[in-house]
């Protein structure tokens, strides 16, 4: 029980803390208009055009902070506030997603690895822990195959954890590309706007760091149960 507390309390603190930081940064800089007057969609379009990427579309999608790049359909999907907004937060987030399109176009290896891992990682994140729990329960009841079920769940969950780790360089690199492009294309005016965009993107990056740390802590917990002889 003590070890479980040591794992889950930090997990909750990391998750909640990261969400608070990103929402706080977004709320603050979504109210600061960029002097260029460009919307997020326009800034992303300029970034794509400047890098000779004509085959990536930009669409509006619903939901707050639901922004993402779909490499299978080559489209940036931006939430309404980012798509239409002309704030520093809108420009930063939109160009971050355009940064993923640049990664795709230039064959950025970590993005390719992450894309390959998606099906197994998605299955592992959804069912890995359930298989672990079910396998441990079966083993506790004396079922011979319980251990095999638990180990299969552990392997699947391990892939999901690895996916969250591989995601880190992908997200950090996309943010770096966004900040560099925003400055080089003249879409930001002065250090104050650069600082504002950096704060938004750095806060967003923390959510991925927190997710990877939480996943790793959970994997450590299950490793202690399976290989350390713990059942509490």
- Active site residues per annotation: 97
Over residues 169-175, the mean pLDDT reads 97
Burial 13-24 (b: 16+ CB within 10 A, else e): ebeeebeebbee
Residue 105 confidence (pLDDT) above 90: yes
Which two structure tokens, joined as six digits, stand for 118? 């998606």
pLDDT for position 229: 56
C-alpha 64/C-alpha 53 separation (Å) is: 27
pLDDT for position 94: 98
| Cβ partners under 8 Å of residue 114, min gap 6 | 163, 166, 167, 170
pLDDT for position 209: 94
Residue 5 confidence (pLDDT) above 80: no
């Amino acid at each position: 029980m003590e070890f479980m507390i040591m794992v889950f309390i930090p997990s909750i603190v990391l998750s909640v803390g990261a969400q608070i930081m990103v929402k706080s940064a977004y709320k603050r800089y979504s109210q600061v208009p960029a002097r260029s007057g460009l919307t997020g969609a326009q800034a992303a379009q300029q970034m794509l055009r400047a890098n000779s990427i004509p085959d990536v579309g930009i669409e509006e999608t619903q939901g707050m902070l639901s922004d993402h790049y779909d490499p299978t359909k080559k489209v940036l999907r931006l939430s309404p506030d980012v798509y239409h907004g002309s704030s520093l937060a809108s420009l930063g987030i939109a160009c971050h997603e355009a940064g993923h399109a640049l990664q795709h176009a230039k064959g950025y290896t970590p993005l390719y690895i992450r894309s390959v891992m998606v099906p197994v990682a998605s299955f592992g994140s959804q069912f890995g822990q359930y298989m672990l729990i079910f396998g441990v329960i079966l083993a506790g009841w004396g079922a011979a195959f319980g251990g095999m079920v638990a180990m299969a769940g552990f392997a699947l969950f391990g892939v999901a954890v690895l996916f969250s780790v591989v995601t880190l360089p992908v997200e950090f690199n996309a943010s770096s590309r966004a900040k560099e492009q925003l400055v080089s294309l003249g879409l930001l005016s002065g250090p104050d706007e650069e600082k504002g965009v950096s704060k938004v993107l750095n806060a967003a990056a923390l959510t991925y760091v927190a997710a990877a740390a939480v996943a790793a802590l959970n994997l450590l917990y299950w490793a202690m149960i399976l290989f350390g002889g713990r059942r509490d």
